[in-house]
Amino acid sequence: MTGFFNGIATAMITPFDKNGVNLEEFGKMIEYQIEGGTDALVVLGTTGEPATMTEAEKESVITYAVKKAAGRIKIIVGTGSNDTAKAVAASVRAEKLGADGVLAVTPYYNKCTQKGLYEYYKAICDAVKIPVIAYNVPSRTAVNVLPETAEKLASIPNMAGIKEASGNMAQVCETMRRIRGKMDLYSGEDFLNLPMLAIGGAGLISVASNIAPKLLKKMYTLVQENKLKEANEVQDFLLPFEDACFVEVNPIPVKAAYNMIGFNAGVPRSPLTELEDKNKQILLQAIKNAGLKTYD
């Protein structure tokens, strides 16, 4: 299927405090995204640190996000696992709690075959009626969705697209060629947002848009208007900031960035650590250079 969402989706962080998930602050972040023109929110994706959250915390985040969004913005829930049964159960729960769609990362650690990937996504799609987006990020999972597998996945009725974060543009172009008109391609690499849109990507699932949603939406809109020169200017302006958002492993920098612009994001959960001091200065300067107000 195509057309589930076009535009900008933010891969949301989860703010924590000493009591657990800080839902009040999460609500402020959701409003910030809506005001910034974001089209969808991904909650409990990699950036949201679900690996260190309890099932009760995950359910509270989904429930709160759906209620807070109140239909103003699509809520997509991260449900992937290295256990197909768990991924199916998480997807069913997300649908019951009101999610508009799910984003399922490829099974990690197990290193399944391409046939295993197809069966994994087929099981998820068969279990729910809402749209399903595959998430290809080999650097984290050691599994790569090959273009021919993506093409096969596109035949599943509620398979809505693939978030591509392989970093391999030759592969991305071949995937786009095979799925064009059958399911959508979403950029999962902020530094490749513009080229992925230029080959026909439907949108971005972005980490950087946590902090700069208006700028990411501006770049997306310019591409849709065929103003590639202006879109390149925005992308050139954004690249140093986007690089700084990954100065350490995601979501360490973007969580620190939220704190820098006036939110109470807390700190990452162990085994992730706080951003190192030397990198705080790099990130802070990048945020200022992007024209964003800071509270340093």
At 56-111, the pLDDT tens digits run 999 999 999 999 999 999 999 999 999 999 999 999 999 999 999 999 999 999 88
163 is catalytic: yes
CATH architecture of the domain covering 7-238: Alpha-Beta Barrel (3.20)
Q: Are 222 and 234 in contact (CB under 8 A)?
A: yes
Distance CA(208)–CA(190), nearest Å, equals 7
Helix axes 228-244, 277-289, angle to 10 degrees: 160
Q: Is 271 exposed, middle or buried (0-12, 13-18, 19+ CB in 10 A)?
A: exposed
Read out DSSP for 218-251?
HHHHHHHTT-HHHHHHHHHHHHHHHHHTTSSSTT
Q: Which of 64, 120, 121, 135 is catalytic?
A: 135
129 is catalytic: no
Please, what is the end-to-end C-alpha distance for the chain in angstroms? Answer: 45
pTM: 0.95
Q: Which of 58, 68, 163, 217 is catalytic?
A: 163
At 181-238, the pLDDT tens digits run 999 999 999 999 999 999 999 999 999 999 999 999 999 999 999 999 999 999 999 9
